[in-house]
A and B are shown apart, each in its own frame.
Chain A
Amino acid sequence: MRNRPSHGNVSPLTVALRLAFAVAVGAAPAAALAKRVKLGVVTFLSGAAAGPFGVPAKNGAEIVIDALNAGTLPAPYKTKGLGGEQVELTFVDEAGGTTKQVNEYRNLVQRENADVVIGYISSGDCLAVAPLAEELKKLTVLFDCGTPRIFEDASYKYLFRTGPTATMDNVAAAFYVTQMKPNIKKFSGINQNYAWGQDSWNDFEAAMKALKPGIEVGTSQMPKLLAGQYGAEVSALLTSGAEVVHSSFWGGDTEALILQGAPRGLFTKTTVVLTAGEPTIVRLGTQVPEGTVIGARGPFDMFAPDIELNRWFRKAYEDKFKMAPSYPAYKMAQAILGVKAAYDKAQAANAGKAPSQEQVVAAFENLSFEGPGGRVEMSLGKGHQAVQGTAFGITKNVGGKVTMTNVKTYPASKVNPPDGVKSEDWIKAGFKAGK
């Protein structure tokens, strides 16, 4: 692991110079662009989620939009812009809570006149913004948040989500560990004490019990978000007698769990499953213990298929940012390409003329499009919620780099409920129509 994961070690001089430069120059004003389609992108630009999620997503948006405007995207997205018009990007910081995000969304739509809004990493923000998108009748694409409740509890016309739900992550994780350890008797969990962590644990626990009736739960630890200190939790997990420890931790919490758990043997005495662990590999490298089960919330990064779109995206990202794209970058790229595919389809149906929002929305429903992670089917939530296959693997350090072994892929139909069935009911019913 490097002390500065993305750019090597940072010297005290660098820090001083950067600070001095920032003070002297201030923020450079964004260049005004006279373009037609205004795309508002909402992602964490500050706070704890910025480093692992928000900034990679922003980087991914810049890569794709630059190529889209230049007409240099690979097939099938070779035409310039959206509906033949250039795209103007506006970034909004997702930090600050749901009340702020509701106001920011109104600002984007009503003051900035955004034509399309893509965003939201936090499930809480997604749930808050969803009804507003409908009220303001604005095409809005959720790119990362995981809660399945968005389209399971309501229907929307203007709202879409191009990333799969968290149910897929946890069901696939349960399939993976029960295949890996067919005689497993006990498992434990450590998840953050808010909607994401609780939903993830509930899905994993239910899936494990559906797959292995009679299996026991050792302990379910629910420390608060960004707790940072996990000494007692590691002890509780070690004494729980579990063979597998499930965690949907993300960002600094994952890194702290690894830094504190690995020296104490948590990762050697149990098999730890990190359902959202892929960005941690990008950041910690070989500091992630060997034998950890890792998910990428879809077929992204090391699990992405060897297709032209993935090769292009990866190279463009690495060339510009000198690091590999993690799954938030992939999911942002996927969302923008979903919008592009919907625009192209609507434009084709509109005799080549720029389509209206209503035409784009109609084209988006039940759309099947190509992303850097492979094919995406908008097949749940009455054609508004994407499904994809996913994959899990085990870390192995080879030549100073983390590689994945025992990679198993799961088709979308195996790890997602059928349309109209709630995830919770589907899991408890033993994945009927899923297996």
Chain B
Amino acid sequence: MTDLVSVLVDGIIYSSYLFIISVGLTLIYGVMKILNMAHGSLYALGAYVTATFVGFWFGHNLNPYVSFLLLPLAAVVVGLVAGPLIERGLLRFMYGKDEIVLVLVTYAILLILEDVIKLAWGVESYSAYQPYGLLGNFEVAGLPYTVYDALLVVVAIGVGVALTWVLTRTRQGKLLLAVIHDREVSAAMGINVQRVYTVTFTVGTMLAALGGALIAPKVSVVPAMGVDVIVLAFAVVVIGGLGSLPGAALGSVIVGLVRSTAVHHMPEVELFSIYFVMALVLIFRPKGLFSAAEARKI
């Protein structure tokens, strides 16, 4: 029983991490049809800015509980600076080009951002560990877990619910869905597609940075920390269906639970298990679990 509970709890915590790191990727793809390889670097940028903010905060002995606000603040700062800069400064010149060209362009951005991070922060590791242990522990079936990890689950659910609400219940969200459905018709109907793209990329960047910001207190913030994240996030969104929000959620839960089961019962296949699930899904659903049916355009 303890074993089953720990597999479930570990799986859910890991799923929330996966959802947070992949939701921005799937949002940008859904709207802009860009597989944003720079997502990993934006995640890393969020972690580095968080480490800087948290270091400054605790270095000046300020109220430790307020430090939790620094995490979303770091994500907003990265999103508002890097998002419009990349979208307006580079990506807008590439719209209309083949998707593979955009993949290469965003890969170039990833490499540039990796070096920007090294220029700004060097190659030393940073940490923002203080918020992680601040709220203490709780026990599930005799195993201790940190309250911070429980908060990650809450944040992941909150992000998912908020995005769903915005997309389905607000005017801006409906405009965005219209652009997703058909960019040209949306533009013809008077929707400012350029602005939708800029806002979407900025929000996607914020979500990538939020992933890094929330993970920073748990890890050592080091160069290249974002490179593996893009691979993992890609696996999740491919399982769920590129561009699908519920798909990213389901993909995260599946991967999280499968990985947790592997770690507890067959640790030697842990890495293989994630990509095995991905391969299995793609065999039966080549466009992912939540891929929408596409009308053929003549």
Chain A residues close to B by CB (< 8 Å): 1-6, 8-12, 15-16, 18-19, 22-23, 45-48, 50-52, 54-55, 193, 219-224, 226-229, 231-233, 235-236, 238-239, 251-253, 255-256, 259-260, 262-265, 283-284, 287
Is B58's CB within 8 Å of the partner chain A?
Answer: yes
- Residue ranges of B at the interface with A (Cβ–Cβ < 8 Å): 2-3, 6-7, 9-11, 13-14, 17, 51-56, 58-59, 116, 118-129, 132-133, 137, 143-146, 149, 215, 217-225, 228, 259-260, 263-264, 267-268, 270-271
Please tell me if the beta carbons of B10 and A15 are within 8 angstroms of each other in the complex.
no
What A residues does B225 contact at CB under 8 A?
48, 226, 228, 252
Rounded to whole angstroms, the CA-CA distance of A239 and B217 in the bound complex is 25
What 10 A-B pairs have minimum CB-CB distances, sorted nearest first? Answer: A3-B55, A255-B220, A9-B59, A252-B220, A232-B10, A50-B123, A232-B263, A252-B222, A22-B119, A19-B120
Q: Are B52 and A15 in contact (CB under 8 A)?
A: yes
Chain B residues near A252 (CB, 8 Å)? 125, 219-222, 225
In whole Å, how far is B162's beta carbon from the nearest beta carbon of chain A?
A: 24
Contact A232 B125 (CB under 8 A): no
Contact B125 A251 (CB under 8 A): yes
- Give A253 to B219 CA distance when docked, in angstroms: 8
B55, A229: Cβ atoms under 8 Å?
no
B270 touches A47 (CB 8 A): no
Docked pose: A287 CA to B149 CA in angstroms: 19
* Inter-chain contacts of B217 with A (CB < 8 A): 259
Q: Give the complex CA separation of A255 and B133 in angstroms.
A: 15
Asked whether B14 lies within 8 Å of A232 as measured between CB atoms, the reply is: yes
CB contacts (< 8 Å) of B220 on chain A: these are 251-253, 255-256, 259
Residues of chain A contacted by B118 (CB below 8 angstroms) = 46
Interchain CB contact under 8 A, B14 and A229: yes
B264 in contact with A19 (CB, 8 Å): no
Contacting residue for B223 out of A10, A51, A255, CB 8 A: A51
Question: Are A231 and B14 within 8 A (Cβ)?
Answer: yes
B56, A224: Cβ atoms under 8 Å?
no
Nearest to B221 among chain A residues (CB) is A252
Is there an interface contact between B52 and A235, defined as CB atoms closer than 8 Å? no
Q: Can you spell out 16 A-B residue pairs with CB atoms less than 8 angstroms apart?
A: A4-B55, A10-B55, A22-B119, A22-B120, A48-B222, A229-B14, A232-B264, A238-B143, A238-B144, A239-B6, A256-B219, A256-B220, A260-B219, A264-B145, A283-B125, A284-B127
CA distance A228 to B232 in the complex (A): 12
Bound CA–CA A227/B147 (angstroms): 22
Q: Are A47 and B267 in contact (CB under 8 A)?
A: no
- Partner pick for A259 among B121, B143, B218, CB 8 A cutoff: B218
Partner of B2, one of A221, A239, A262: A239
A10 touches B224 (CB 8 A): no
CB pair B264–A259 under 8 Å, yes or no, is no
With beta carbons under 8 angstroms apart, the residue of A11, A54, A219 that contacts B56 is: A11
